[in-house]
């Protein structure tokens, strides 16, 4: 099993980022953080790369459930979603698969929560 849920699409990078944020909202997620990796690496290291954005998505209800059964799980939150520019007008969208991430914690109570979150993130990615 891969550690992420992914899909490629054609389109304008910024439009895809906006659509991902919209679809995350539809599934009850807010974007807490937005990291422009390409810009950061250019500023800090002087390196060029294609556009690459990390969206830190959080669904408060699921975050609360997870924190209620595993108080240190915050080290693995929020759920990251990556939007990455590729060649030829392609844009990749990838979201963490929380089922894989939570498996290593060893708390069976997280499995059900992770499955529900994975289902929602899969719908987000599929909708792009």
CATH code: domain of residue 25: 3.30.310.70
Pairwise CA distance, residues 35 & 128, whole Å: 20
Q: What is the pLDDT of residue 40?
A: 98
For residue 54, give its domain range: 4-126
Q: Structure pTM?
A: 0.94
Query: What is the largest distance, in Å, between two alpha-carbon atoms of the chain?
Result: 45
Q: What is the pLDDT of residue 1?
A: 62
Which residue numbers in the chain have pLDDT < 70? 1
Q: Which residues contact 53 (CB under 8 A, 6 or more apart)?
A: 17, 34, 35, 36, 37, 82, 83, 84
Q: What is the pLDDT of residue 64?
A: 98
Q: Which structure tokens are listed for 124?
A: 């987000």
Question: DSSP H helical segments within 70-108, as ranges?
Answer: 98-103
How many domains are contained in the chain?
1
């Amino acid at each position: 099993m891969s550690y992420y849920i992914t899909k490629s699409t054609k389109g304008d990078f910024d439009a895809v980022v906006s659509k991902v944020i919209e679809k995350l909202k539809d599934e009850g997620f807010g974007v807490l953080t937005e990291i422009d990796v390409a810009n950061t690496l250019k500023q800090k290291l002087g390196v060029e790369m294609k556009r690459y954005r990390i969206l830190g998505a959080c669904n408060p209800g699921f975050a609360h459930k997870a924190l209620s059964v595993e108080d240190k799980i915050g080290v693995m939150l929020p759920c990251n979603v990556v939007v990455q520019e590729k060649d030829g007008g392609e844009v990749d969208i990838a979201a963490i698969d929380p089922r894989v991430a939570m498996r290593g914690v060893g708390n069976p109570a997280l499995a059900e929560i992770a499955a529900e979150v994975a289902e929602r993130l899969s719908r987000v990615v599929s909708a792009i």
